Amino acid sequence: MSSFIPLITVFLFFMIAPSADAVAPLAESPKTQKALMRHNIDEQSSVATVGTSPELAMLLDRRVLSEAAHGHSRHRAAHAHVSVPPADAVKDSEPQLVNNKKLISAQQPAIAEVPVSSKAIVIMGMDRQFQTDSIEAAATLCNFFDEGRCALSLMVPDPGQQVVDQLKTKIPYIHMLQQPSLSGVSRTDKLATLRNALLEGSLKQFPNFDYLLMTDLDHTIRWTAQTRSVILNAMTPLNDGKWDGISFLGSEYYDWWGARCTSDAWNCWGHVDENGKSSCFDMSHYSCVTDLSKERGPNKFVPISSAYNGLTIYKRQAIGSCRYNGLNTDPASTRTDDCELVQFHRCLNVAGKKFMLNSGKLDVHWDTSDQFLELHASQTGEQ
């Protein structure tokens, strides 16, 4: 009798468990797809977060079962990196500087992705390559704005009209800008030229949009529920009046060159110690970032002279004549160039606008294996 029970158990398992053929891929309606998007389902996660209804939870279970049965993993190898340790392992830990390059922060508790009403945003994206997956990921933010109130403006290599037309079937409000000639002598001069062309083209194309979001489409910013919820939280009635321009913390903070806590903070690549080491990774110069990184909530704002870390947002009425500039203005610097974002952000401050660093942490992954080495080469001349 004792040996008979396991046989029954095995028999029942194979009778009940669905096969790959029995679980058909879900044909989700547009309404269902949008509901899934609003409940934190994206390209990198199949897990529903707080606030999921029982009906949607059942749908999610069916989706995960369908994908598992058909061998479709939602986690691509390119995105297998885990930015931070599990939340319970870093819950009360201090931010950690890893490889003397990037600051790893504890994960924040999940917050809701709150839709924005009666406001419009243009996502201004730059990249050296045309990466459809990155563009489509950034466009997921548009699911939280009213129809026709979110657009993408892109400064990327032209992939051809057929590819653009195909992309427009998924993202109707998309505008491709032609890259200007790059005559700058330094890398930052060229970046400033590109960003200014993207900004001015977006201002012209979308004259009535309220927010302009500048970002890099190189997968450093991951457009997950974590990223979207932090961006949307800054636009809630509670927080929208606290800033004119805003940058955010991240699960990883890497952009020390663009970070300036005060108006007299120096150009770190132009200041080296007696051993020839740059001050860019000396955390004593970045207390505005390191102190705020200890904050667990997403609703703290601190004034800052400049910050980027892959994404900033500006209110249209605050921009005025401010533009990007890659020239150095630090009289003590040994370099003639500087991060192109610094002068733009300082221009906002000089004009009396509130440029803030927010304690919300975007989902950021900066691959030091290639990006840091590339940046180092661009700064030192080593190829």
Q: What per-residue confidence (pLDDT) applies to 94?
A: 75
Q: Does 368 fall in a domain?
A: yes
Pairing state of beta strands 252-253 and 150-155? unpaired
Rg for the chain (alpha carbons), in Å?
A: 23
* Count of residues making up the chain: 383
What pTM did the predictor assign? 0.74
Q: Helices 30-38 and 54-69 meet at what angle, rounded to 10?
A: 100
Whether 78 maps to a domain, the answer reads no
Residues 154 and 294 grouped into a single domain = yes
Q: Which of 80-84, 300-304, 330-334 has the lowest mean pLDDT?
A: 80-84
Asked if the structure places residue 128 within a domain, the reply is: yes
Q: Is residue 44 over pLDDT 50?
A: no
CA distances from 244 to 60, 95, 207, 309, 316 (A): 38, 27, 17, 18, 9
Residues 55 and 182 reside in one and the same domain: no
- Examine the domain organization and report whether 188 and 288 are in the same domain: yes
Distance (Å, rounded) from C-alpha 195 to C-alpha 176? Answer: 14
Containing structural domain, residue 177: 96-380
State whether 208 and 268 are in the same domain: yes
Question: Is 234 found in the same domain as 103?
Answer: yes
275-311: pLDDT as tens digits: 888 889 889 999 999 999 999 999 999 999 999 999 9
Region 18-31 average pLDDT: 40
Q: Could you tell me if 101 and 50 lie in one domain?
A: no
- Say if residue 164 is in the same domain as residue 310: yes
Q: 3-class DSSP state for residue 27? A: coil
For the segment 190-228, what is each residue's pLDDT rounded down to a tens digit? Answer: 999 999 999 999 999 999 999 999 999 999 999 999 999
